[in-house]
């Protein structure tokens, strides 16, 4: 995250860990696919194209999950759904062991 506050040190804000020469280096233009929003006060937000790719991937996963749940519901209604109690209990125990706080 980069904070640009022009009131901190005159014309440009200080960015921790960057030299004054490198602070302006990435201001030549947005990355490909980036979305930029600027306010009248000079505040600027830039979201990379990667964020869009992540949202798209999550949406695709949601569609696949919904399809899987519909299939399970149909199997249950028709009486063809059987629970593998051994696999279920192992998954519950494994999930509990992997969690540090012990709660969901």
- The ranges assigned to domains in the chain are 51-98
Nearby residues of 8 by Cβ (< 8 Å), 6 or more positions away: 14
What are all long-range contacts of 52-59, with beta carbons under 8 Å and residues at least 24 apart? none
DSSP string, 18-33: --HHHHTGGGS-PPTT
How far apart CA 102 and CA 89 sit, in angstroms, is 16
- φ/ψ (deg, to 5) at 96: -65, -40
pLDDT in tens, the chain (104 residues): 566 666 655 444 445 554 444 444 444 454 456 667 777 877 877 778 788 888 887 777 788 889 999 999 999 999 999 999 999 999 999 999 998 765 55
SS3 46: strand
Question: What tokens were used for 54?
Answer: 């992540």
pLDDT score for 87: 96
How far apart CA 47 and CA 54 sit, in angstroms, is 12
């Amino acid at each position: 995250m980069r904070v640009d506050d022009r009131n901190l040190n005159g014309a440009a804000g200080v960015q921790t860990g960057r030299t004054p020469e490198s602070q302006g280096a990435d201001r030549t233009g947005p990355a490909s696919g980036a979305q930029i929003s600027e306010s009248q006060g000079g505040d600027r937000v830039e979201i990379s194209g990667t964020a869009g790719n992540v949202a798209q991937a999550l949406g695709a996963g949601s569609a696949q999950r919904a399809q899987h749940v519909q299939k399970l519901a149909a199997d249950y209604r028709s009486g063809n759904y059987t629970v593998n109690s051994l696999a279920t209990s192992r998954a519950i125990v494994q999930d509990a062991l992997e969690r540090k706080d012990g709660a969901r």
